[in-house]
Amino acid sequence: MLQAQKHIPVFYEGSDDLIAIIATSIASICYNTKSFIDFYILDCGICNFNKKQLESLKSRFSNFSIEFIPVDLSQFEGLSGWGEKNHLDCYARLLIPELKPNLDKIIYLDSDVIALDDINLLWLQDLENYVYAAVPDLGYSEIYLKNCVENLGLLKEHIFPNAGVLLIDAQKCRKINFTQEILSIAREKKEFLLANTEDLLSIYFGTNNYKRLDNRYNLTDRKNEIESTSAPFITNEYLKNEWQHIVFQHLSPGKAWKIATNHYTGDDLKLFDDFWFFAQMTPFFEGLKLRFIQKCINREISEKFKQKQTKESLKLFSFLPLLNINQKADCVRYKLFGYLPIMKKKIRRL
């Protein structure tokens, strides 16, 4: 039986657009442990009202505290951000060892990580003299492998980590001047960073120089690509067993507050209901639910509209366009030889 720790420090990066998801993650942790959790939110843009809403979780759980730590994102200007919108808050986690010099060991979680077992299972992992512990990234595809070998100086045997769940020896980080040095690498290698933090950790520490955790500590409902690139031991059979002993689910790439199906397989997202079980414990539940319903409605309308748009062509001698039939929404247009309009027909709406 696990012995509850007195205090476990857990860090998130936070902004208004993710505050409801962070609240859901916090609820899942508090629900699953008897330990007292000190939550530290790296404030990358959270309004006062949302901070109050997050604090209101104390009416349901008594085993946590929250401290908001302001982060000036301008210090990361010029770096390669995450996604199409070039989000720079992904670098905030690299500041953690310096922001709290009194903490020797910490946990970092992405906002979309849900606890399904006691966080002590992660906290009590032996780092075995490594600076950090992480789970191999299932999405480590040929594209990432090529980038790591050709541009980042890593060996093809490198088992790429996922930085969504990290157990970190913060004391060692401070001793090796980790924050300053890794941000320097971020500027030097910015044109080659595909996965930002994961790339930087891999460059800084080198091939496989981290404590590798079982995938149950950061399971994602995605295609297992790392098996064929660098980790043949991570088989689908192994992952099937890990789902039976899951500790943390990382809602990547399928976000349960946006969609209910896996875009790889078309199947229902794994443990979809569990996200909503914890979401309903938060003050953000009604907003999440309404936005989810609206996204579903918009998606259904979009699909129906696509189905109404068809384009067919009859050809003479298998290559000369004779008759084009173009249907859009409630109208069908017929064109002779592909350009000469001959008829337009209205379709009655359903």
Q: How far apart are CA 82 and CA 347, in angstroms?
A: 45
Using the predicted structure, report yes or no on whether residue 8 has a pLDDT greater than 60.
yes
Query: What pLDDT does residue 263 have?
Result: 79
Between 77-81, 186-190, 269-273, 282-286, the lowest mean confidence (pLDDT) is in 77-81
- Is 65 domain-assigned? yes
- Can you tell me which residue has the tokens 């579903």? 296
DSSP secondary structure, 49-74, as one string: HHHHHHHGGGGT--SEEEEEEE--GG
DSSP secondary structure, 264-313, as one string: TTSSBPTTHHHHHHHHTTSTTHHHHHHHHHHHHHHHHHHHHHHHH-EEEE
Q: Do 279 and 323 fall within a single domain?
A: no
Instruction: Give which of 294, 289, 284, 258 is closest to 20, Cα–Cα.
Output: 284
3-state secondary structure of 314: strand
Report residue 2's pLDDT band, with 50, 70 and 90 as the boundaries.
confident
User: In terms of C-beta density within 10 A (0-12 exposed, 13-18 middle, 19 or more buried), how is residue 37 classed?
Assistant: buried
Q: Do 180 and 197 fall within a single domain?
A: yes
- Is 1 domain-assigned? no
Say what the alpha-carbon torsion angle 20, 21, 22, 25 is, to the nearest 10 degrees.
130
Q: Do 216 and 336 fall within a single domain?
A: no
Instruction: Round the average pLDDT of the chain to a whole number and report it.
Output: 89
Between 59-73, 107-121, 217-231, 315-329, the lowest mean confidence (pLDDT) is in 315-329
Q: Do 171 and 317 fall within a single domain?
A: no
- Is 67 domain-assigned? yes
For the CA atoms of the chain, what is the radius of gyration?
24
- Is 2 domain-assigned? no
Query: What pLDDT does residue 326 have?
Result: 64
How many domains, in total, are found in the chain?
2
Using the predicted structure, report yes or no on whether residue 309 has a pLDDT greater than 70.
no
Q: How far apart are CA 254 and CA 262, in angstroms?
A: 6
Residues, the chain: 350
Using the predicted structure, report yes or no on whether residue 342 has a pLDDT greater than 90.
no
In the listed set 286, 302, 318, which residue is the last one of a domain according to the structure? 302
Mean pLDDT on 207-234: 97
Report residue 349's pLDDT band, with 50, 70 and 90 as the boundaries.
very low
Say what the alpha-carbon torsion angle 251, 255, 261, 263 is, to the nearest 10 degrees.
-90
Mean pLDDT on 7-21: 96
Q: Do 102 and 80 fall within a single domain?
A: yes
Q: How far apart are CA 253 and CA 220, in angstroms?
A: 8
Using the predicted structure, report yes or no on whether residue 94 has a pLDDT greater than 60.
yes
Give Cα separations from 128 to 59, 203, 217 (angstroms): 39, 20, 17
Report residue 333's pLDDT band, with 50, 70 and 90 as the boundaries.
low
3-state secondary structure of 83: coil
% residues pLDDT > 90 (the chain): 76
Q: Do 215 and 135 fall within a single domain?
A: yes
Using the predicted structure, report yes or no on whether residue 140 has a pLDDT greater than 50.
yes
Q: Do 336 and 269 fall within a single domain?
A: no
195: CATH: 3.90.550.10
Report residue 82's pLDDT band, with 50, 70 and 90 as the boundaries.
confident
Using the predicted structure, report yes or no on whether residue 13 has a pLDDT greater than 90.
yes
Q: Do 157 and 208 fall within a single domain?
A: yes
Q: How far apart are CA 348 and CA 350, in angstroms?
A: 6
Mean pLDDT on 268-297: 94
Using the predicted structure, report yes or no on whether residue 182 has a pLDDT greater than 50.
yes
- Is 57 domain-assigned? yes
Query: What pLDDT does residue 205 have?
Result: 97
Q: Do 252 and 119 fall within a single domain?
A: yes
Mean pLDDT on 148-173: 97
Mean pLDDT on 218-238: 97
Query: What pLDDT does residue 1 have?
Result: 65
Using the predicted structure, report yes or no on whether residue 307 has a pLDDT greater than 60.
no
Report residue 296's pLDDT band, with 50, 70 and 90 as the boundaries.
confident
* Residue with more model confidence, 334 or 194: 194
Using the predicted structure, report yes or no on whether residue 286 has a pLDDT greater than 50.
yes
Q: Do 248 and 313 fall within a single domain?
A: no
Using the predicted structure, report yes or no on whether residue 12 has a pLDDT greater than 70.
yes
Q: Do 100 and 247 fall within a single domain?
A: yes
Using the predicted structure, report yes or no on whether residue 317 has a pLDDT greater than 80.
no
pLDDT in tens, 21-53: 999 999 999 999 999 999 999 999 999 999 999
Report residue 327's pLDDT band, with 50, 70 and 90 as the boundaries.
low
H helical segments located in 134-235: 142-150, 170-175, 178-188, 197-205, 226-229
Using the predicted structure, report yes or no on whether residue 350 has a pLDDT greater than 50.
no
Angle ∠(92,105,102) on CA atoms, nearest 5: 80
Range of the domain at 331: 309-346
Instruction: Give which of 261, 242, 243 is closest to 253, Cα–Cα.
Output: 261
Q: Do 325 and 295 fall within a single domain?
A: no
